[in-house]
Amino acid sequence: MIAGKKREPAKWILSKELKDTSVIEETQGEEQGKPYIVTPLGTRVKRVIIAGTITSSSVEDNLTKATVADNSGAFYVSAFASGYNADAKFALDSMDHGSTVMLMGRVNPFKTEEGVFYFNINPEIVVRTDSPGIEMWKSRTVWIATRKIYAIREAFKSEESDSNHLSGLGYSAEESECALRARKYYHDYDFQEFAKIAESVLKFSQEDSRNAELKDIILAAIRKNDNDGKGCRYEDILSATLRDGVERVQVDEILNTLGSEGEIYEVSLKRFKAI
C-alpha cells in the first residue's frame, strides 16, 4: 500500500451486476490505472471480491483464464505470470474444475467498437474456500444488492430525493450514493428482474447447503446401520431421515448423487455401503 493513500475498497458483487454494466468512467488527467466502472446498482468499482465455483480454465505459461460461477452467471478471470500478482496465477493453476474459490481482483473493462462491454478480473488473491465461505459471500452479496435495490426504489420515487433523504430512511452513505448513480445512469434497467435473480442465488445456495447436510445425514445413517456387514437397509435410511422431515424422493436423489460421487455403492438390492 502506498503511504498516505487508502486501499481501494473491494466491492462484493454478483456476476450479473458486473455483466450488465454499461458505464465506464473517463479517467481524469492525473488518475492512473484502470477506470472505475458504474454497475446497474450504482456500485462504483475498480476492485471486487467474488466467490464461486471454477467451471472452466485454460492454463498457459504466462496466462491462466478461468470462469467462476456464482449462480447468477459467471465471472471471467485472467491471471498473468508476470507483474505483482504472479502468486494469484499459480494459485489459480492449482485449482481443479469444480473447486470453490474466493478471489479478489481488479476489474479490467473493455468496450468493443460495436459498443459491447466485457469485464475481466485480474486476480490479486485466489484462495480455495469451502461451503461456509461460499455461503457467507453469497448471502452477504445478495444482502448488499437487495439493500441497494430498496434504496434505488426510493430514489426513483422522486427526482428530488438526494443522499440526505436516503440517509434519513436508514440507508448508508454508500447505499445512498449507489442509488443516485443508478437513477442517473440506469433509468431503464430491470431492477425487478435483478432482484429475482439475486433471490434465486440465495435459494440455490440454501438448496446446496441443505443437500450437503442431507448427504452427511444419509452417510452417517448408512455407516451406523450396516450392522451385519451386508450393507444398510433402505428402510433404515428412510427411518433415520424421516425424523428430520426429509421426503422419500429427496432421499432417493441424494442416494443417486452419493453413488455417482463414489461415496456409497449398492451391495445388493436396496442395501448400501459407504466407501
Q: Which residues bind another protein (CB under 8 A)?
A: 7, 9-12, 49, 102, 104, 125, 127-129, 131-133, 135-137, 139-141, 143-144, 146-147, 150, 172, 174, 209, 213
Beta sheet of 44-45, edge-to-edge order: 23-24, 37-38, 44-45
What residue type is assigned to position 268 of the chain?
Answer: S
Q: Quote the least distance from Cβ 10 to another protein, whole Å.
A: 6
- Residue 55: Cβ within 10 Å count: 12
Cβ nearer to another protein, comparing 174 with 263: 174
Supply φ then ψ for residue 26, to 5 degrees.
-70, 135
Closest among 123, 83, 82, 88 to 106, alpha carbons compared? 123
CB of 114 to another protein, least distance (A): 34
Task: Pick the closer one to another protein by CB: 134 or 240.
Answer: 134
Rounded distance between C-alpha atoms, residue 133 and residue 153, angstroms: 30
Provide, rounded to whole angstroms, the least separation between the CB of residue 230 and another protein.
Answer: 33
Q: Write down the least CB distance from residue 33 to another protein, Å.
A: 19
Q: How far is the CB of 95 from another protein (least distance, A)?
A: 12
CA distances from 162 to 148, 156, 170, 178, 270 (A): 14, 10, 13, 11, 65
CB of residue 215 to another protein, shortest distance in Å: 13
Which residue spans within the chain are E strands per DSSP? 10-12, 23-24, 37-38, 44-45, 47-59, 63-69, 74-80, 100-111, 117-128, 232-233, 264-268, 271-274
Cell of 229: 456387514
In terms of Cα–Cα distance, which of 157, 144, 153, 138 is closest to 192?
Answer: 153
In angstroms, give the least distance from the CB of 167 to another protein: 10
**Residue 68 or 232: which CB sits closer to another protein?**
68
Nearer to another protein, 128 or 271 (CB): 128
Select 63 or 212, whichever has its Cβ closest to another protein: 212
- Which of residues 213 and 253 has its CB atom nearest to another protein in the complex? 213
Rounded distance between C-alpha atoms, residue 80 and residue 91, angstroms: 11
- CA quadruple 210, 213, 214, 218: dihedral, nearest 10: 180
Of 163 and 209, the one with the shorter C-beta distance to another protein is: 209
